[in-house]
Amino acid sequence: MAFHAIKKIYRQPVLAALKPALLGMTLAVSALPALAQQESASPAYVLGEGLELGHTGVRVGGYGSAQWQQMDYEQTPASVSHFSLFLWSDIGPRLKFFTEWDNQENHTADHDNEYEREGSRFLSVERLYLDYSFSDNLTLRAGKFLTPIGRWNQVHADPLVWTTSRPLLTRDLFPDNVTGVMAMGNTEIAGRSYEYMLYHSTGSQLQPDPTQTPFDHAYGGRLVLPLGDTLQLGISAARFEQNPGRPGPFWNHGEFKRLLAMDFMWAKHGYEFSGEALRRQSSAGADHSEHGNFVQGVVPVWGALSAVARVEHISMPMMKQSLQRSVIGLNYRYSRAVSIKLENVHDSGPVGARSGLLASASVLF
Amino acid sequence: MRRLVPLLLCLAFLCLPAFAALAEEPALAIVMASGTVPPRLGREQIAQIFKHKKRYWDDGSRILAVNLPASHPLRRSFTQQIYGRNPEELEDYWRDQYFHGVLPPFVLGSEEAVIRLVASTPGAIGYVSICNVDHRVNVLLRLDGSSSCPH
């Protein structure tokens, strides 16, 4: 009886979207009493640091988030939920295993939901890889990993970013992940440590996200340059083929693309200023090339509350003209692991001006 | 776009004021077990070690960095001198690293606990007040501070 009542409540879109966040918090809270009995000098569980499974060296963690949105052109609000689980382990001093599984559910009858990926429910492998570190200068990674293009995609999890909406260029111009091999490491030049990544993919994908078009064949690299204690610059480049499944107006057989992206981030005392710019050129001609950019500022308002503003621009051939987006919102980081966001999104593009409200709650557990 | 210009100007304006003044900084010693060959480390290398960007010593052995609690005055001084930030400001960094399966350095509750662990664990590195350094540890680097040891 009670089970059916709960199930009925969860069928409500907004409450259903809250499931992952609630589940994450429940897991975290339920683990606390048992853990409190362990040695206080070495706390076994900290929200946002995962939990070691016994003394196996295997850690489990993840995040849950619930998102809600009401756009002015939609009749009903839409909600989306994510539940992402990480599992990782250091196997000896040089080998590391990491995997992330992501479950997403869209609780909406509206199919014009452009602020999140389409598809009602799916489970995908976001990451699954093995790292072998020869030294700090060289680690080899094999498997499925996040595409090292720009900074946002490397940290795109809901509790880690300031806004519920994702910058368009990080969503539309390359897939979130890539399957292949990567060499990466840190190297010191003139007293500064630089980070590099070089990768190659032949295109096969394990349990792919159905809403994304993976690389067919790709290679690329990324370089991160720190400039002082508070500023870092990133440069990413890639050459790839991406087959959406069938030839069409936006893809030709044998077409390949070249991508160049730059990003920066400055952060100090709770203030943050960051941005990315990306250009993607196609072998099929200039009308198949795209570019986009965004800048984002964060200002602490009071305590854990910060104000966020972002301006975006993207130009894609299928749109015939540019899309401008502005985002203004608030982010309340209750703790290191819990984040509540509210923002207004305003678009002006080929279909005119439109705007909407987005909100989300997320927890890193 | 037009309505965002004032907002961005406000953001820039809010960023201008000078930030919080630095607190008094006690003198710090970066330490390893005595008897080990002390590696040559500068501030940049220390910064990389405590961010887990540098994970191996030159002989290929694994580095174990040990921290004090975020509220400890020495931790605050260490973080300020090495990173130019407060420990709380590094939380965003560790939150991002967690997403990649990297956890912050191990935390011990006191300087004595740091000295004991560092002295007994190959590859371990920590920091304590220069006043508490004894025969069990070697000083790799000294970070100046404004306070002096009580006599």
% of chain A surpassing 70 pLDDT: 80
The nearest CA of chain A is from the CA of B26 a distance in Å of: 21
pLDDT at site B136: 96
More confident residue, A355 or B148: A355
| Closest alpha carbon to A170 in A294, A255, A71, A325 | A294
Contact B98 A50 (CB under 8 A): yes
Asked casually if ipTM beats, i.e. exceeds, 0.85, the reply is no
Residue A308 reports pLDDT greater than 60? yes
pLDDT at site B34: 92
Residue A34's pLDDT band (boundaries 50, 70, 90)? very low
> For A150, left (φ over 0), alpha (ψ -120 to 50), or beta?
left
Residue A8 reports pLDDT greater than 90? no
The nearest CA of chain A is from the CA of B145 a distance in Å of: 20
Mean pLDDT score of chain B, rounded to an integer?
84
The nearest CA of chain A is from the CA of B54 a distance in Å of: 6
> Tokens for A305?
């509350």
Please name the residue of chain A whose CA is at the shortest distance from the CA of residue B91. A336
The number of CA neighbours under 13 Å toward the Cβ of B28 is: 23
User: Contact, A365 vs A86, CB < 8 A?
Assistant: no
Residue A288's pLDDT band (boundaries 50, 70, 90)? confident
The nearest CA of chain A is from the CA of B151 a distance in Å of: 30
pTM: 0.82
Cα angle value A121/A124/A128 (rounded, 5°): 165
Mean pLDDT score of chain A, rounded to an integer?
83
Q: Which position has the token pair 């799916």?
A: A122
**Interval A142-164 mean pLDDT:** 95
The answer to whether A348 contacts chain B (CB < 8 Å) is yes
Contact A192 B54 (CB under 8 A): no
**Interval A348-355 mean pLDDT:** 82
| Closest alpha carbon to A85 in A118, A141, A124 | A124
Residue A79's pLDDT band (boundaries 50, 70, 90)? confident
Please name the residue of chain B whose CA is at the shortest distance from the CA of residue A349. B1
pLDDT at site A19: 57
| Closest alpha carbon to A272 in A298, A292, A295, A250 | A298
Distance in angstroms (rounded) separating the CA atoms of residues A309 and A139: 37
pLDDT at site A20: 52
pLDDT in tens, A275-287: 999 999 988 777 7
DSSP-assigned states of every residue in A175-231: -SEEEEEEEEEEEEETTEEEEEEEEEE----SS--TTS---SEEEEEEEEEEETTTE
The answer to whether A273 contacts chain B (CB < 8 Å) is yes
Contact B1 A311 (CB under 8 A): yes
pLDDT at site A18: 52
Residue A35's pLDDT band (boundaries 50, 70, 90)? very low
Distance in angstroms (rounded) separating the CA atoms of residues A276 and A296: 9
For testing the chain B interface, which of A45, A49, A184, A265 should be mutated: the one with the most B CBs within 10 Å? Answer: A49
**Interval B92-119 mean pLDDT:** 95
Burial group, residue A347, by CB count within 10 angstroms (0-12, 13-18, 19+): buried
For chains A and B, what is the number of CB pairs under 8 angstroms?
Answer: 101
Q: What b/e string do you get for A154-193 counting C-beta neighbours within 10 Å, with b at 16 or more?
A: bbbbbbbbbbbbbbbbbbebbbbbbbbbbbbbbeeeeeeb
pLDDT at site A29: 46
pLDDT at site A40: 38
The answer to whether A157 contacts chain B (CB < 8 Å) is yes
